[in-house]
Amino acid sequence: MNRLLGRAGLGGIGFTTMLVGLIAAAAAEYFDLGFIIMLVAMVLGAVAFFLRAFPGSRFFAIAFANGLAVYTSLFVVFTEVNFAQVGVFATRIGFILPFLAFLAGAWIRRDRIRRIVLADRVADAEEVARSFLWLVPVFGIGVLTFVLPTLDLSARAADLAFLAAMAAIAAIVFAVSADVSSFLIETGLLFEEFFERIAKLVVPTFAFLTFYSVTVIVFASLYRILDRLATTPNFTIGGAHRALTFPESLYFSIVTMATVGYGDIVPSTDAARALAAIQVVLGVLILLIGFSEIFSYTRERRRGRNEN
């Protein structure tokens, strides 16, 4: 982790900003444009803060920004379920309180956190378990707020109750900022290790997806040809008995290959059912063989590195 922010780091920040922006856009019915702008600014500000306060903390900063995206999702659910009547101003203040509390706690404990950042190692299971303990009281506060909708509070009382709950969470986050940092550091290290492993699987994964997609197209063509040669349609589509279009045959082939079966397109003749059954069995075999080959490729590369 003790490396300068490079192209991968910028890509991670871009991905995180896109992720948070996506969540904000999805919640746009609940949050206004000002909140969305504030959220994106918080992500960029957080990354800049950690890169400044903890040099070499590229994945630490990205892990925190992604954690902020998760926090945003939980916050939307939390407020919509328990605090639907809370005003816009109180919502924004409550949202930003834990964020500011963590930054303040991280700055006060920056020497300790910097040592953790520069250690550049994944902790053992016991250390990881301890880094999760701070979530217990936060979860407890969230559970307690589920009784509030039953109290028929006024708008002002709901604002105060909401701000009190978020202030309590902020106080906990401030007190355990070092533990939260440890959790984020472990997450960042796992991110780094995961993406390094994924990069090594590009070749076999691309080969697998190529063969998988060709199989989907072949069966889609067979479904379409079967319908064109038959005197009566072989599928029921949205309750209507008619012939498949080629886009519909592609969609049905993908759904069948994945064994999802949404039920919007249903084979209605023995020939179509038999062909779909063959594709299901073949799809399962392709998945099993494909995963086996990817794992074999990984083992062979690791064995080759060890021999070298």
Pairwise pLDDT comparison (222 vs 147), residue with the higher score: 222
Query: Quick one: pLDDT at residue 83?
Result: 79
Residues 6+ apart with CB under 8 A from 82: 145, 146, 148, 149
Six token digits for residue 141: 């506060």
CATH class of 202-307: mainly alpha
Tell me the per-residue pLDDT of 250-267, one tens digit each, with 9 for 90 and over.
Answer: 999 999 988 887 888 999
CA angle, corner 36, sides to 73 and 33, nearest 5? 130
CB distance 75 to 31 below 8 Å = no
Is pLDDT above 60 for 8?
no
| % the chain with pLDDT above 70 | 70
pLDDT of residue 135: 75
259 compared with 183, residue with greater pLDDT: 259
Q: How much is the pLDDT for 251?
A: 93
The overall average pLDDT reported for the chain is 77
Q: How confident is the model at residue 1 (pLDDT cuts 50, 70, 90)?
A: very low
For 94-136, the pLDDT digits (tens) are 888 998 898 888 888 877 777 766 665 555 555 555 656 777 8
pLDDT for the residue 288: 84
Residue ranges of domains in the chain: 7-199, 202-307
pLDDT at position 5 is 45
Please give the pLDDT value at position 259: 82
Residue 45's pLDDT is 77
pLDDT in tens, 19-39: 666 766 676 555 667 777 777
51-106: per-residue pLDDT in tens? 777 665 566 666 776 777 778 778 877 787 777 778 878 888 888 899 889 888 88
